[in-house]
Structure 1
């Protein structure tokens, strides 16, 4: 007998929904991916901590690291302490550094585990940034702390730099200084203002093409210090145009949570083998980890149609999770982890579970089911019913 429950619609009505409950495709064992794939991983809050949830950060460290171990077992890397981990939306720098330390320690017990860690300027309050030199010092402080732990850097976009920079030359100066000091090649990080309004005009221009020219100039001046660049502009044509212009050996890491399937598959065009396709550094891979791993395994074996058959149905779910206001996507990511039993509660750092409506979460449930992403359908249905009851729907 089919599992059914009453779900709200966008129009405010209730409808009976029958769960398909098809389990996720299991990744093939022992297949090495032919793309580098990082999942930007979420953090699990500690709901028993006696803190002010809108102001204080309390992390359940055991559950948070357990989720990273889940990602590594699937063959995915972890992009640590990024915006998916609520960096800048509840996670402060001291807690982020502790997260990085614990993640790097745990990775040492997993052969081949990949970790790259977010290095930013978020300990420098934006209103206290007075000059480019302030931004450089802030980057250097986090850079030194992460490299001391042996971590690989993801140089995150800086709200402080966006505030104080007056021209592309300021960006060139900051990134040139940071890259010159890096102990190993870094991943640069270009996050569009749909993810963070404070980053509007990044790279010194509100025109994306001019901004891209500046970013490419920084990379061209320091090619040996740049592993790749992650861009999250939700514009596949701009990503493709940029990856074709990257220097030899520099990768494009897609951060496009709307078009990742086709960008990872690639178009085969480009002067370098890495420039006809995108690698991945994606928040959505946290929520769709089993499907992502299975699809990447198929792609590595040349089964492109099977890759799209597995990953394609996840795209509507991702577009829903990342719908505007895009910065609230973390709520959907954590909701998926709760539905699938990877954490015991739907409570988030900063109280961010409140940023999406019940109809939004109900549609997320439907789309997750349609994408074959409910790992334990019976348990997921019980948890959805619990959430509905909390909102007065019995």
Structure 2
């Protein structure tokens, strides 16, 4: 008996029907009409049973044998069948697309890697033929701008504590007093997290306080200032290069902010929301392989930890959440969702420091 593989994806690519076996990283172009055979084996069946329903059994037999040979039809009881069943059980109840993403972006034993010298030469040739996208975004829908301090403000913004103390005392806090955050604290938080230490005008390779694959830094920060002293309430894009808050909207209703944050009621009393997005063209320019999509998530994780440690050093409360209504937030931020992705949010406020996790 045979069944259609559960570890492949069928899609149209430039008019061609393609089967992508994401476990072995093989793509097979299929003739039109082949999909009917995949449907026929959606449950385990004998080949003779399927052939009995076709007028041209010779042609149907050739197609089925080709599908078996390509590993698209899997023999029940085979090693491949057992492997697929284990994976289906292990990844349930997540969508099959989740495991397709993970395994399709694996590096297999057969993958070749460039040496450091080869990578440098590849980058040199790429710079000559294809200039990189800018490392910093300037939003097109700016109402007005607020300049923020260019250096860490002295006196009380950051509490001098050693790194180990911060690491062990950092907590996710979901209870806020609703008090104001000083403007200089927000300025320091954004500047230390997202502004460049240095950046190359040629390659757009950028150094910040957090690491980023290839120095591409795809993550952009947006801020909703709900209660920040000296900053009018509204939604802002942080212009990290120039250390500006570029205002995008007037004040938003608290109910809308809670809705954006997945109806999590504890977010209602936050003083500021820092939204993370990803401009993935920065990574894609240097890394053409789809594995670089994983790096976008790592990048947000690095910056999120920096935000956590800085808020701890400032005596503020913070929790990162990924439970966002991406569509609603994208509209508020005026994102081109084909090129910039919603990734997460750091919800920041003043104590009390209760409900820790």
Q: TM tier, shorter chain?
A: under 0.3
Q: What TM-score comes out, normalization by structure 2 length?
A: 0.25
Structure with a larger share of its residues in helix: 1
Higher relative contact order (CA 8 A, sep 6+): 1
Task: Work out which of the two has the higher radius of gyration on C-alpha atoms and give 1 or 2.
Answer: 2
